[in-house]
Structure 1
Amino acid sequence: MDKIVLQKGDTLIVVDVQNDFLPGGSLAVTQGDEVVPILNRYIAAFAARGLPVYATRDWHPPDHCSFKAQEGPWPPHCVAETNGARFARDLELPAGATIVSKATEPGRDAYSGFEGTRLDQSLREKNIKRVFVGGLATDYCVLNTVRDACKLGYDVFLLSDAIRAVNVNHDDGLKAEAEMVRLGAQPIALASLGT
């Protein structure tokens, strides 16, 4: 495969690498911590070229509709201002990274970084054409962020070495990856990036 050379108009979107999604968190993704060192290398590559980095996060109110107490599917997680909602300690986001908080209202959920946020507007203001997406979890927030990015007309690269799945069903992650490719996302790994 040809090397992908990062260029003006590219951005990195790091999806929901938060403590509650890491081992020991309230909604832990199996081996979710494995994405952190890989994402750090992508972050360094983008930062070295002066390209923008975005980081999405769940930033829920305590009574969020996705929580089981409100008849949602999940245990409480990523409640705003708690340790569980903080980014992974070892995630090396640059000082200039743009933080995108989602699902901030009690009655509205959002798996996609584009849903109910200014992400699309911000990308267009920066003339972004290509988005590189990795993080947690493959079968939920990564899938939905990629789905919306494709729908909105961005060229999408899926960082297949920097995603991990919840896998409520054992093959949900694989199905999500296949769906993202079907929608037009191109799976890549660190070795694909040219210098």
Structure 2
Amino acid sequence: MVEEFGSGDGLLIVDVQNDFCPGGSLAVPEGDEIIPILNRWLALAREANLPIFASRDWHPENHVSFRERGGPWPPHCIQDTQGAAFHPDLELPEQSTIISKGADPDRDQYSAFDDTELAKRLREEDVSRLWVGGLAQDVCVRASVMDGAREGFEVHLILPATRPVEASPGDGDRALEEMQAAGAVIERSAGPGK
């Protein structure tokens, strides 16, 4: 359990967008329940003046991940639509760095690190320990956590601040096992000092 943020810490919020929340086109069950927890982490990170990054899917209308093109998902997070907007209750500070991914119609990018310069930006901010929460636990959060660990960051998944979409039963648990095997720390606390 983390008692408090320190120097070298950073916060990454993954894809907390309307389409991934209840009522969205690719809703994660209970996806909106993570928002109050993330808001506590965001407030603490802001108070500690830590770098905050927020990734988002930013798809063109004909993206390769959509079923119409043989992909696994319904259309979601289409650029400049309400579905692609961050959830209105998410209290992202103005100084947060937005990481857009999945904008190439012919290439999928689940990870916030995939061809986005996120790793470079984290190093420029002297981040060594990265706290991660968001959606979905078994897709983009999993990919981002594993890539972060691969890039040499000490990655901590904030478990209460993520939910799985579970396209197949058990995907969430499998993703947790894979993230741990990659070296990530699974934090079961709802926040620093909790």
Q: TM-score, normalised by structure 2?
A: 0.96
AA aligned opposite 1:184 = G
Distance 2:163 2:17 in 1: 13
Cα displacement (A) at 1:4: 3.7
The aligned residue for residue 26 of structure 2 is: 27
The residue correspondences of 1:82-161 to structure 2 (distance < 5 A) are 82-161=81-160
Structure 1 SS opposite 2:139: helix
Aligned-residue Cα RMSD (Å) equals: 1.3
Change (3 A) 1:191 1:83: closer
- Answer yes or no: is the 8 Å Cα contact 2:16–2:56 preserved in 1: yes
Deviation at 1:168, TM superposition (A): 1.2
Deviation at residue 178 of structure 1 after TM alignment: 1.4
Q: Secondary structure at the match of 1:69?
A: helix
1:182 matched residue in structure 2: 181
1:141 CA displacement: 0.2
Query: Within 1, Cα distance between the matches of 2:34 and 2:165?
Result: 13
Q: How does 1:67-86 map to 2 (within 5 A)?
A: 67-86=66-85
Amino acid aligned to 1:170: P
Distance 2:168 2:70 in 1: 20
Superimposed CA distance per residue, residues 90-112 of structure 1 (whole angstroms, 9 cap, x where no aligned partner) = 00001100000001110110000
The verdict on how the C-alpha distance between 1:4 and 1:180 changes in structure 2, with shifts beyond 3 A counting, is farther
Aligned residue number for residue 57 of structure 2: 58
**Which deviations, in whole Å up to 9, do the C-alpha atoms of 1:4-39 show, x marking residues without a partner?**
431111100000000000001000000000011110
Tell me if the contact between 1:56 and 1:113 (Cα under 8 Å) persists in the aligned partners.
yes
| TM-score (norm. length: structure 1) | 0.96
* Rounded Cα–Cα distance in structure 1 between residues aligned with 2:113 and 2:99: 9
Superposed CA deviations along residues 142-173 of structure 1, whole A, max 9, x for unmatched, are 00000100100000101001000011122100
Q: In 1, are the aligned partners of 2:55 and 2:112 still within 8 Å (CA)?
A: yes
| Superposed CA offset, 1:67-96 (max 9, x none) | 111111111000000000000000000110
Q: What are the ranges of 5 or more consecutive residues in structure 2 without an aligned counterpart?
A: none
Contact 2:39 2:90 survives alignment (8 Å): yes
Asked if structure 2 preserves the Cα contact closer than 8 Å seen for 1:39 and 1:162, the reply is yes
One-letter code aligned to 1:17: V
CA contact (8 A) 1:6 1:194 kept: no
Aligned mates of 2:14, 2:119 — CA distance in 1:
15
After superposition, where does 1:11-22 map in structure 2 within 5 Å? 11-22=10-21
Residues 110 and 140 of structure 2 are in contact (CA less than 8 Å); yes or no, is this contact kept in structure 1? yes
Deviation of 1:191 after TM superposition, in Å, equals: 5.1
Q: Which runs of 5 or more structure 1 residues have no equivalent in the other structure?
A: none
Structure 1 Cα separation of the partners of residues 190 and 59 of structure 2: 36
